[in-house]
């Protein structure tokens, strides 16, 4: 019996209509599970939770048992829409207007998921012999949130179950302005610092009886940003530190505050390991010669997928479909590829990201259809010519 043929646009609309603001409660994943089961996939719905966090449903689905296992990774959760009155259309109506598909999650990244599902359905229908290798999906409901109970835990479950991925394609929106521009072959790491400087609260008219922590905080922050962290390299842009919040917690006009806090984030390249970066930042802060406390949170290390069959397959599929070779880039933020890179080679390729997370998020209908063709060509290259 032939596999059901999936329309990438209709499936995109169905997925967008689920109001799956982080974390996805599972409805969008249930739809995907039903569709993939009809295509012959074995589906595992996996819900993980920890104390103090929301339970998060995830989906791992696979067809085939042999290597290579080509996995498509993505997420059905979306960021909040903001004030709906500022939207031109209902953010969850999935309207098609002026050749564009509108709605929260259109670019990031429900339409890409639909495009790959449709590509798989066409590929399976065209097979004249048994499937060579395997195709799988790793879809989380918590990529836009803390990412504690999502992809990372699914990968741990897979290791326990003896499930191995050989290639992973993440469907994040990677193209700045037009489809086919850019494939992401790595990402910078992300290190957060929470800086706390204690003072002595007192009356502003009696500064000798208090200690104002604000000038000390200014000194430390100045040292952090005094010179560049590095100059980048052939694969990565320079590491960058941004001060993202200063919190004094003082609404009074005549009180010297008791403490001053700041948060900063560093997007770092592979010139640094996380520990080396912490050491360099600590060295800089110590130059201020004031007492401080610092708490670190590493949300992801930098990584680079070396050139090989996966990046070649994606670039070749883009060129075959669009007639242009994409740039291999490491720019942008983090994604769940930071977890998957420990299991297998991983690259990212999806739709144009110009409107992701914005009011009136939208993608071109024609791009979704073309992306599905590119994805089908990637499958053909990797599964018919795995070496």
Q: Which domains are delineated in the chain?
A: 8-187+303-384 (3.40.630.10), 189-300 (3.30.70.360)
Closest CA to 138 of 105, 106, 163, 175: 163
What pLDDT was estimated at residue 33? 98
Q: What's the number of CA atoms in the CB half-sphere (13 Å) around residue 370?
A: 18
| Mean pLDDT of all residues in 319-336 | 95
Does residue 165 register a pLDDT over 70?
A: yes
Q: What is the DSSP string of 184-203?
A: E-EE-EEEEEEEEEE-B-EE
Please write the tens of the pLDDT for every residue from 285-305.
Answer: 999 999 999 999 999 999 999
Catalytic residue positions, numbered: 77, 143
Does residue 331 register a pLDDT over 80?
A: yes
Distances (CA, A) of 259 to 23, 153, 192, 211, 281: 34, 38, 20, 9, 21
Cα distance from N-terminal residue to C-terminal residue, the chain = 30
What pLDDT was estimated at residue 387? 41
Does residue 244 register a pLDDT over 50?
A: yes
What pLDDT was estimated at residue 4? 81
């Amino acid at each position: 019996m032939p596999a059901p043929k999936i329309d990438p646009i209709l499936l995109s609309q169905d997925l967008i209509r689920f109001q799956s603001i982080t974390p996805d409660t599972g409805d969008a994943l249930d739809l995907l599970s039903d569709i993939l089961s009809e295509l012959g996939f074995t589906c595992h719905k996996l819900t993980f939770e920890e104390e103090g966090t929301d339970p998060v449903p995830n989906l791992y689905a696979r067809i085939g048992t042999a290597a290579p296992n080509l996995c498509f990774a993505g997420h059905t959760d979306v960021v909040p829409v903001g004030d709906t009155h500022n939207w031109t259309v209902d953010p969850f109506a999935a309207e098609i207007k002026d050749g564009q598909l509108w709605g929260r999650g259109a670019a990031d990244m429900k339409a890409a998921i639909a495009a790959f599902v449709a590509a798989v359905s066409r590929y399976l229908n065209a097979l004249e012999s048994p499937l060579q290798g395997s195709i799988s999906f790793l879809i989380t409901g918590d990529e836009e949130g803390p990412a504690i109970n999502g992809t990372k835990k699914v990968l741990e479950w897979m290791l326990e179950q003896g499930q191995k991925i050989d290639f992973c394609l993440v469907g994040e929106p990677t193209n700045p302005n037009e489809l086919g521009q850019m494939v992401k072959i790595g990402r910078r790491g992300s290190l957060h610092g929470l800086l706390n400087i204690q003072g002595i609260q007192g009356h502003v008219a009696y500064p000798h009886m208090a200690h104002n922590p604000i000038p000390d905080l200014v000194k430390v922050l100045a040292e952090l940003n005094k010179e560049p962290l590095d100059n980048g390299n052939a694969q990565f842009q320079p590491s960058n530190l941004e001060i993202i919040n200063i919190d004094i917690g003082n609404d009074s006009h005549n009180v010297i505050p008791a403490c001053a806090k700041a948060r900063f984030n560093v997007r770092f390249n592979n010139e640094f390991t996380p520990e080396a970066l912490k050491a360099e930042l600590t060295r800089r802060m110590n130059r201020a010669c004031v007492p401080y406390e610092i708490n670190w949170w590493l949300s992801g290390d930098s990584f680079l997928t070396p050139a090989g069959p996966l990046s070649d397959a994606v670039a070749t599929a883009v060129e075959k479909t669009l007639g242009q070779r994409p740039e291999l880039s490491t720019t942008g933020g983090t994604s769940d590829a930071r977890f998957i890179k420990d299991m297998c080679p991983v690259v990212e390729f999806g739709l144009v990201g110009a409107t992701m997370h914005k009011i009136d998020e939208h993608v071109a209908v024609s791009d979704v259809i073309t992306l599905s063709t590119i994805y089908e060509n990637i499958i053909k290259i990797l599964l018919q010519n795995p070496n």
